[in-house]
Structure 1
Amino acid sequence: MTTRHAVIAGAGIGGLCAAVGLHRAGWRVTVLDRAPSPEPFGTCIALAPNALRALDGIGIGEKFREFGIAGGRGGIRSPDGRWLTRRDPGMINDYFGEPFVIARRGALARVLLEALPDSVLHNGIRVTGVYRNVVHTDRGEFSGDLVVGADGIHSAVRGTLFPWYGAPRPNGMIVWRFVLPAGGPRCSGSETWGAGRSFGIVPLAADATYCFASAPKPRGSWDPRTELAARFGSWHEPIPELIAAAGEDLLCHELLRLDPPPARFHHGTTVLLGDAAHAMLPNLGQGGCQAIEDAATLAALLSGNRPLTEALERYSALRVPRTRAIAANSARVSRIAGLRSPFAVAARNALVRASNRLPDSLVLRGMGAALDWWPPDQERASTRAR
C-alpha cells in the first residue's frame, strides 16, 4: 500500500505535534516553516493534564513529565500584595491524575524534533496559500494527500480555505513575557490583578522564573520595557525587582482573537489546527494545550485505514465545539481580570476572596471542562479521584 503524505504548514508546537503523531501513524510528513532555522521563538508553555494526555496519544508524553512541575501554594493577589485566594497546585495532580507542567518552548520543540527524521522540516519557506492538495509557497509547490494548516493566527491556509472570516481582531490589550535564569528573586507562583492589568509569576525548574503581564494598549508610540515598568513598577515585591532584571529576551505584542472561529476546521483534504483554527486569549493557559489536543486527535483519527474524508469530518465534529467553549471561557476570565472601574474591581476582589470558602473538589470539578480530556483512541482512567 502506498504511504500517505501530509504537508504541514507551520513548525510551531501544534504543527510539530501533528508531524510526530502522523509520522508514528505511518504517514510521510513534510513540514514547511518560514523561520530561517529550527530555533523556536517564545518563552514558556503550560502543559495541563489534558495536554500531557494528548502528548501520550502521540507517544512522547513521558518525556515532558521530566520538566518543571508547578509546586508550592499559588493564587491571586492584589497590587499591594494581599492574597485574594490561595490554592495548592498539587491538588490538580491528585484529582486529575496528572501534574501541571511548565515547559520552555525551546525544550519542547527540541523533543518534538528529535522524534522526527531530519528530512521532515524545511525552514525558510513562506506558505502563501493552498488549493486542493497543493501548498503554494515562495519556493514552489508542495503536494500531499493531506494539507495541515498549523501556520498560526495569521494563517495563509485559513485565508484561502475560509476567506470570509477575515483577519484576527485586536483585543485592545498588550502582553509581556520573559524568563529570568537562576539567581533572580525567589518567589512563589501567583497572579496579581489590578484595575485592567495583571502580572503573573511562575517558578520554573533550576530556580528560573517565568513572568507574564497584560495591560491596555497605550496610545501613540511607546517603549515596551519603559511601559512595563510604568504599569507595574509600584506593585508588590518582587514584581519591581523582576521587571528590573528582565533581559533582552523580553517579548511584547498585542493580543489578537479569531472571533468567531470557523464553523468547521477542514475543507476537502485540508485541515486547520492550533491558532490557525481557534486563536484564543491566554487567560486559561489553554491555547497551546488545545493545539496539542488538535494534533493528537488528528493523528488518532488518521491512524489505520479510515477514509480521509471521514476522519476529517470527525475531527471537525470533535474539535469545533470543544475549542469554542474553551475560547469563550478564556474570554470570560479576561473580562473579569480586566475590569477597571474601582467599584467593579472591589466587587471582583470580594468574590475572589469568597471563593476561598469553596471546597477544593468543587473548584476542581469546574476545571474539568478543560482538563478532563483524553485522546479519542484512549479510555478515560477509571481510578481518578472524584
Structure 2
Amino acid sequence: MTTMPRITPDLEFIKELQAVGGESVKKCYQCATCSVACPISPSGNPYPRKEMIWAQWGLKDRLLTDIDVWLCHNCGTCSDLCPRGANPGDILAAIRNMTYRNLVGPSFMGKLMSSAKGLPVLVGIPAVLFLAIWIIVATIKGTAFPLEGGDVVFGSLFPGDYTIDPIFMVVFFFMVFKFYSGVKKLLKSFAPEGGVVYLGGKKPNPIRVLVELFLDEILPHKKFSDCGGFTLRRIGHLCTIFGFIALATVTGVVAAGHWGPVFLEPLGIHIHGIHTPMSQFNPVKLLANIGALLLVVGLVGLTVSRVLKDKAKHASTFYDWYLLGVIWVVFLTGMGSQLLRLANIKYLAYPVYYLHLVSVFMLIAYLPWSKLGHMVYRTAALAYARYLGRKAV
C-alpha cells in the first residue's frame, strides 16, 4: 500500500512572510494570470503561480531553496494584472528578503534588519565606535573641537593609518567572508538531487558563464527591456551600479596608493603613493566626482520609482526604504564633507564627516543582510541557472 506524503505547513513562516511585505498572499486563488502575464517566465514549470500556492501552504523549505524566486525580475506586471490584488511580485520579493536574512549568521542581524525597531541598534554600533575614536584622539592630542586655526583635515580627528582604515579593512573582509558563506549555502540549496547531465556532454566553464552573464544581462540590464521598458527604474539601476563601480574603484586605488608603499617598500618594491586630500583635477578625484554624479541620478530615479510603486498600492517595506535611505545618507554626507572641507567650515565639516563614516559602516558591514545583497546573491543564482543550462526565459 502506497503511503501518501503529508504536507506540514509552517504557520510561523506564513506570518513572517505577511509581516515583511507578503500580507496579500492569502488573496491568491490560483487563476494563473501571473504566470501567463510574466514576460520572462519559462514555459516549462513557470513562476510565480507555483510559488504563490507554496507560500499559502507555508512550504518554507521549498520556497527558500527555489531558484525561480531569484530569476524573477520583479517588474510588477504580475501584480498589476492580478484580479485579486494578491501582488505575486511583492510575495517573491518578500521571500528573497527573508532568504537574505537567514543565509548567514549571526541570526540577530536578520532580526535587526527586519523592521524599524532594529534601526537604533544598527545606527548605534558605528555611532558609538566612531564617537569613541573622535573623543580619544581629541583627548590624546589635547585638541578641543572645533580645531582652532588651519584647514579642515579629517585625519586630524579620524586618523586613517591606525583607526579608520584598519576598521574598514576588517569590515570589508568580514563582509566578503559572509557573502562567500551565503553564496555557498545558497547554491547548495539549489543543487538538484542526483547527478547533472550537461548538454553536449561538456561541463560549462563557471568563469565563462559568469562573464557572459555580466555582459549579456547584468551590465546592460537587458531584462528591464524584456519586462516592458521601465525606463525610470532602468536608468536608476544603471546609474547606481556604475556609480558604485566608479566609487569602489576610487576607494581601491586610494587604499592601494596609501598602503602599498607601507607593505612593499620593505621588500624593495617602490610604488608611487597617494595622499589625501587630492586636487579636484586629479584623475582619481575626477572619477570620484563622476561616480557621485551617477549615484545621485540613480538614487533620484530609484526613489521616484519606489514612490510611484507605493502609490500603485505595491506597499514598500522598511527593508526597501532602509537601503535607499542609507545610500542617500552616504551620498549626502560624502558630498557635504567635501564641500564643507573646501569651504573650511569646521563646525559642520567634522560632524558631517562623522555621520558619513557611520553611514558607510552601515552600508558595508550590514550588506550581506540588506537588500543590496541581491547584487551578489541574485548574480550567483542567475549564474548557477545558466551553469545548469537554464535561463530566466
Report the structure number with the largest CA radius of gyration. Answer: 2
TM-score (norm 2): 0.33
Of Structure 1 and Structure 2, which has the larger fraction of its residues in helix? Answer: 2
